[in-house]
Structure formats: structure tokens, C-alpha cells
Chains A and B, each alone.
Chain A
């Protein structure tokens, strides 16, 4: 243990996965998603990130980036589901 029990590595709670707390799983419907980023800004974890992945929706609209949920950390609180304006996030019960 280092002197003073100092934690040497910043942000190392990322090694601890909290995804197993979840009973309901939010799933983003990339077709409906308007990339308004509200889920990303409100996620308390933060388990939602903006990734550089191009996506063309079924109606032909091309997006430069996508919003993705990291299920290693998502605790399934549902704030993103509630705050999603176009209702593009489905809340699905997870059976383990």
C-alpha cells in the first residue's frame, strides 16, 4: 500500500463494472435517434458516449456519429429512456 493510502491511478473505478446491477436494459433504436445528445448529457454514470461511427438510417438519413451505451457500467436507471425526446430508447427487461 502506498504511503498515506493514496490511490495512484486516477479514475480507476472504471475497472469496477456496475452493469450487473441492471434489471432493465435501455436499447437505442439508431433509426429513431436524432442525435440530440440528451441521454449523453444526463447519464449519471457516465455510461453513454458519442462514437465516430457513421450510420445511415432506413429513411436514408446519414449521421456522422452515433450514441452508444456501455453495458459494462449502465445500471439501468432509465433516465435516458425518460428524457429521450423522440422516444428512441426501448427499456427491455433483462432475464439472466
Chain B
């Protein structure tokens, strides 16, 4: 399904809005940007199944909703299961002749990292195995931000959270971040991609490809969190840009077994630039920063070897 990209410049972005203002997301929360652009790609014929999380609690404070498309919330752990049911119900309605069989309905499951990495993993795995035509969008803010910044399976090593404090015994989280996109890839999922809101055309193309995939698709989006990562609200997009430039975050896609890095980085910057902008990493010593840099170097080497050419360039500055 490769070919020319659907959204090439900012002027290809549709003007219609299906995400209303007035929601309660923090000022500068990039989840708003992600949800807004997701709905611009999906259009009105969409059903969104939302897991419990920041986006769920803040966009649907009763009796208000920010969604202009049908929206469903069941519980934290069963987003993928509920989305599977919605997709199967559409197929049943079409078979019974209640719904026009030519109607195309996009089913999107939208969940945060807690609802995907930890709580919703078994439902997600089941959905992938059964092969429902659902696009699962994961907005990853690397902790349980909604309940007060507790660690999750997604929190990176050394990051401060309220349950991985920084003191004499603990220096932030001691474990590695779980490679969720690789886990999903291992299910043989037809379309798996990682993206980030700074490269919005890349992100929107991935949403488009995910929706066009026959079968399940998974898009993992990095979402800088101003409250939990402790940075000034205005730097949300800047931090996601630095994540790509330092190769802390690599935008890739696995399209029916074909692996590609969609955003190449010719000159890589030191991870210091990314880490030092965030309060959650402010306790890091220079040695720990270099440790993170070493693990990023190794990851880049692996990616370059996998692709077969240098897509993420050498470290400069």
C-alpha cells in the first residue's frame, strides 16, 4: 500500500473540525492536537472507542462532549474488546440489511499508555489476534497522568514520577520502557507505525494508512505532557521535535511486513537537548545522560542495520 502520501503539506490538511473546543485538557496538552488531527483524517463516518484516560475524562465532562462523532467509553481495560464488538456489530447490521453494505465506517480505539501497556494489553492482543478492522491509536505520555503521574510500563528509565521518586535510594524509574509497537508487530499486525505530533503530515498519513488497512492497525504517537514531564506549556511541540532529532523517538512504520523509517534524521543531536528541557529528568547526572545516549546509539545502530542504510545519521553536537 505504499505510493504517494496523502497529506504532503500543511495545505492538504482538511479544514473541517470534528473536535470541539471547550474541553478540559491542560493548556498546552498535545493530546488535543492529536485528537483533532485524527478526526480530520477520519471524517464524520467514524466511531471512536475511548479508554479511560486524560482524553476521556477531559473531553467528556458530563453533560458536555467535545466529539462530533459517535463516541463510546466502557472501562479502562477493554477498549480493544469494545472496539471489536462495535466492528462486529457493523458487519452484522450490514448482513441483515439494516445498514447499507457499501457504507464505510471507521472504528478507532483511542487509548493512553496506561490503558495499552498495562491494563488493556490482553484485550488489545485479543483484538489483534482475531483480526478486527479497527485502528488502535495510542497516545503515549509515559505515565498515568490523569490520576497524578504514576509510573506505567511506558515510563522511560530514570524518569521521575510520584511512584518512582528521586531520593537517596531511588533515582527515578529503574526499569526500561516496554517496546509496545514491536510487541504489536510480533502479532503479525498488517500495519504498525510510530509517530509524533511535530511531524503532523507523517502522523496524518499513518492514520490514513491505518484506516485503509484491511484488518487491525496500530499507531503509536508520542504525546509530550506539560504537567507530568514538567515543562512550560509552550514547548509541547518543540519537545516532540527534539525527541525525533535526538532519536529518542524514531518514526517508523511496518506496512505488511515492509519496514521503513519515515522521518530520517541526517544529523542527530545529543539526548541532553531533549532531557534537559524536562523537569522529570532534572536530577540526572552527566553519567546517567551518557548512559541514555549509549542506549540510543545502540538502538540507532540496530535500526540502521534493519533498514540496510543510514536513516538516522551520526551524532553531532
Contact A82 B27 (CB under 8 A): no
- The main secondary structure of chain B at its interface with chain A is loop
Contact B68 A10 (CB under 8 A): yes
Interface residue ranges of B27-44 to A (CB < 8 Å): 27-33, 36-37
B30's closest neighbor in chain A, by CB?
A44
Contact A42 B33 (CB under 8 A): yes
Interface residue ranges of A16-60 to B (CB < 8 Å): 16-18, 21-22, 36-38, 41-47, 50
Q: Does A77 contact B (CB under 8 A)?
A: yes
A44-B25, A44-B30, A44-B31 are contacts. A11–B20 as well, Cβ < 8 Å?
yes
| Chain A residues closer than 8 Å to B76, beta-carbon distance | none
- CB proximity of A38 to chain B, nearest CB, Å: 7
A44-B28, A44-B32, A50-B15 are contacts. A7–B62 as well, Cβ < 8 Å?
yes
Contact B68 A11 (CB under 8 A): yes
Contact A41 B21 (CB under 8 A): no
Contact B64 A15 (CB under 8 A): yes
- The number of residues on chain B lying at the interface, defined by a beta carbon within 8 Å of a beta carbon of chain A, is 43
- The number of residues on chain A lying at the interface, defined by a beta carbon within 8 Å of a beta carbon of chain B, is 35
- CB proximity of A34 to chain B, nearest CB, Å: 12
Contact A46 B32 (CB under 8 A): yes
Q: Does B97 contact A (CB under 8 A)?
A: no
Contact A5 B62 (CB under 8 A): yes
- CB proximity of B10 to chain A, nearest CB, Å: 5
Residue among A10, A73, A79 making CB contact with B67, cutoff 8 Å: A10
Most buried by A among B11, B15, B32, B37: B32
| Chain B residues closer than 8 Å to A78, beta-carbon distance | 28, 232-234
| Chain B residues closer than 8 Å to A14, beta-carbon distance | 20-22
A46-B21, A76-B27 are contacts. A13–B238 as well, Cβ < 8 Å?
no
| Chain B residues closer than 8 Å to A10, beta-carbon distance | 65, 67-69
A42-B200, A44-B28, A77-B234 are contacts. A12–B10 as well, Cβ < 8 Å?
no
Q: Does A83 contact B (CB under 8 A)?
A: yes
| Chain B residues closer than 8 Å to A45, beta-carbon distance | 21, 23, 32
A47's closest neighbor in chain B, by CB?
B21
Contact B28 A79 (CB under 8 A): yes
Inter-chain contact count A-B, CB under 8 Å?
111
B23's closest neighbor in chain A, by CB?
A13
Contact A41 B69 (CB under 8 A): no
Contact A82 B234 (CB under 8 A): yes
A37's closest neighbor in chain B, by CB?
B10
Q: Does B17 contact A (CB under 8 A)?
A: yes
Q: Does B3 contact A (CB under 8 A)?
A: no
Complex Cα distance, B24 from A16, in Å, reads 10
A43-B33, A76-B27 are contacts. A11–B236 as well, Cβ < 8 Å?
no
Interface residue ranges of B245-284 to A (CB < 8 Å): none
Residue among A18, A36, A41 making CB contact with B22, cutoff 8 Å: A18
| Chain B residues closer than 8 Å to A76, beta-carbon distance | 27
Q: Does B116 contact A (CB under 8 A)?
A: no
Complex Cα distance, B234 from A82, in Å, reads 6
- On A, residues with C-beta under 8 Å from B are 5, 7, 10-18, 21-22, 36-38, 41-47, 50, 70, 72-73, 75-79, 81-83
Given A13-B20, A44-B25, 11 further pairs, Cβ under 8 A: A5-B62, A7-B63, A14-B22, A42-B197, A44-B29, A77-B28, A78-B28, A78-B233, A79-B233, A81-B234, A83-B238
A-B contact pairs, 22 of them (CB 8 A): A7-B65, A11-B20, A11-B65, A12-B63, A13-B61, A13-B64, A14-B22, A15-B22, A16-B64, A42-B33, A42-B200, A43-B32, A43-B33, A44-B31, A46-B21, A46-B32, A75-B27, A77-B29, A79-B33, A79-B233, A79-B234, A82-B238
Q: Which 10 pairs from chain A and chain B are nearest by CB?
A: A44-B32, A78-B234, A77-B28, A75-B27, A11-B20, A13-B22, A73-B21, A77-B27, A77-B233, A16-B22
